Amino acid sequence: MKEISHFPIGLPLSRIRRRLKVPASADFSRYEHLIDRFFTLVEPRCRFDDLAISLEPGKILFANGYEMVSESLRTHLQDCSRVSLIGVTIGPHIEEEMESYQKQNKILEPLILDAVGSECVEEASIYISNLIGDQIRKHRQVPTKRFSPGYGDLSLEVQKYFFQRLKLDEIGLELNTSLLMVPQKSITAFIGWKGA
């Protein structure tokens, strides 16, 4: 298992603008100072690991004995012999700041914070996916796209496996009773190693 903390990600300004639905013709400068300030609250952390898998109809068997039932994930991992598991977060500060502004009945700041958080956790996931993809290619394999719990028929129950395998509590993540992650600006996903 590997852990990376405070790795560098770029500010995905164009995606934040699209998420906020600010027209291209509109003056965006009045938002940018808030976006820049909120970006300083982002603290990316990640844990990831990989292990061998075998595929059976409708399910995936992991080398450590764990069995996962999902036709969607099994199809996604077709021709894969290994899988990487990733858990990525940007930390709690964005959401703490959102809560603070909401208590003050502010509207603009929470909207911008939500957009910054959503796009920055995606940016962090792209960074880690590219890092893992490079590792997979060194083994003459081809990485699949990410596939997360909640996609297709892959149950959120699978989050428990990510937390057990990657010990995500050690990088500040929790799983609530609805099997949603806290902080919410976090992503878990599988990346398959497909035979070239």
The tokens describing 48, both together, are 């990831």
User: What structural domains does the chain harbor?
Assistant: 2-52+85-190 (3.40.109.40)
* 80 has pLDDT over 70: yes
* 72 has pLDDT over 70: yes
> What b/e sequence results for 58-67 when a residue is b if at least 16 CB atoms lie within 10 Å of its CB, and e otherwise?
eebebeeeee
pLDDT digits (tens, 9 = 90+) for 132-164: 999 999 999 999 999 999 999 999 999 999 999
Terminus-to-terminus CA distance in the chain, angstroms?
Answer: 25
Instruction: Residue 113: count other Cβ atoms within 10 Å of its Cβ.
Output: 27
Q: Are strands 80-89 and 141-143 parallel, antiparallel or unpaired?
A: unpaired
Tell me the average pLDDT across 113-127. Answer: 98
Distance CA 140, CA 134 (A): 10
pLDDT of residue 27: 83
Q: List CB contacts of 10: < 8 A, sequence separation 6 or more.
A: 123
Tell me the average pLDDT across 168-194. Answer: 97
181 forms beta bridges with: 175
DSSP string, the chain: -EEEES------HHHHHHHTT--TTS--HHHHHHHHHHHTT---EEEEEEEEEEEETTEEEETTS-EEE-HHHHHHTTTEEEEEEEEEE--SHHHHHHHHHHHTT-SHHHHHHHHHHHHHHHHHHHHHHHHHHHHHHHTTEEEPPPB-TTSTT--GGGHHHHHHHH-GGGGT-EE-TTS-EESSSEEEEEEEEEE-
Tell me the average pLDDT across 29-46. Answer: 94
Distance CA 119, CA 16 (A): 6
How sure is the predictor about 4, in pLDDT bands with cuts at 50, 70 and 90? very high
Tell me the average pLDDT across 88-111. Answer: 96
pLDDT digits (tens, 9 = 90+) for 42-62: 999 999 999 999 999 989 999
pLDDT of residue 121: 98
Tell me the average pLDDT across 167-192. Answer: 97
pLDDT of residue 86: 98
What is the residue-averaged pLDDT of the chain?
95
pLDDT of residue 5: 94
Instruction: Residue 1: count other Cβ atoms within 10 Å of its Cβ.
Output: 10
* 196 has pLDDT over 80: no
